[in-house]
Amino acid sequence: MVRQYPENELARFSLGRALFDSGDLSGAREHLEVALRRKPDWMVVQILLGKCDLAQGNGVAARLAFERALQLAREQHHEGPEAELMELLSGLNPEAGTLG
């Protein structure tokens, strides 16, 4: 679908999510970033980018992504993701930018 519609953000998100779930974080990031550029207020994409950053050891970038996602969750009145993001942010080590 991405080959046929490279600018379709839903196709990019779907492929990015599948790559994330399979552990291909670099591949996931590539497609998620395109989806987010096309739709900057897409909270779920922002969360997944933060999870990619966290899994790749970039806690500082993860914190920034989660903070942006939290802002979007609040603006869009998504209580479930807001709670998840609060938990993720509270678990980040402020000095190292990693969990724990």
CATH number (domain holding residue 52): 1.25.40.10
Q: Does residue 100 sit within a domain?
A: no
Range of the domain at 72: 9-91
Asked if the model's pLDDT at residue 17 lies above 60, the reply is yes
Q: Does residue 48 sit within a domain?
A: yes
Q: Does residue 4 sit within a domain?
A: no
Per DSSP, the three-state class of 92 is strand
Q: Does residue 99 sit within a domain?
A: no
Q: Distance (Å, rounded) from C-alpha 1 to C-alpha 87?
A: 34
- Tokens standing for 31? 């497609």
Q: Distance (Å, rounded) from C-alpha 63 to C-alpha 54?
A: 8
Angle (deg, nearest 10), helices 79-91 and 43-55: 20
Q: Does residue 52 sit within a domain?
A: yes
Mean pLDDT value of segment 72-92 = 94
pLDDT band at 13 (very low <50, low <70, confident <90, very high): very high
Residue 54, C-beta contacts closer than 8 angstroms, at least 6 positions apart: 62, 88, 98, 99
Asked if the model's pLDDT at residue 95 lies above 60, the reply is no
Which pLDDT belongs to residue 1?
A: 83
Mean residue pLDDT across the chain: 91
Give the single-character DSSP code of 98: S
Asked if the model's pLDDT at residue 78 lies above 80, the reply is yes
Which pLDDT belongs to residue 4?
A: 84
The pTM of the full predicted model, rounded to 2 decimals, is 0.87
Number of domains in the chain: 1
Give percent of the chain with pLDDT exceeding 90: 81
Asked if the model's pLDDT at residue 44 lies above 80, the reply is yes
Ramachandran angles phi, psi of 99, nearest 5°: -70, 145
Q: What residues does 92 pair with on adjacent strands?
A: 99
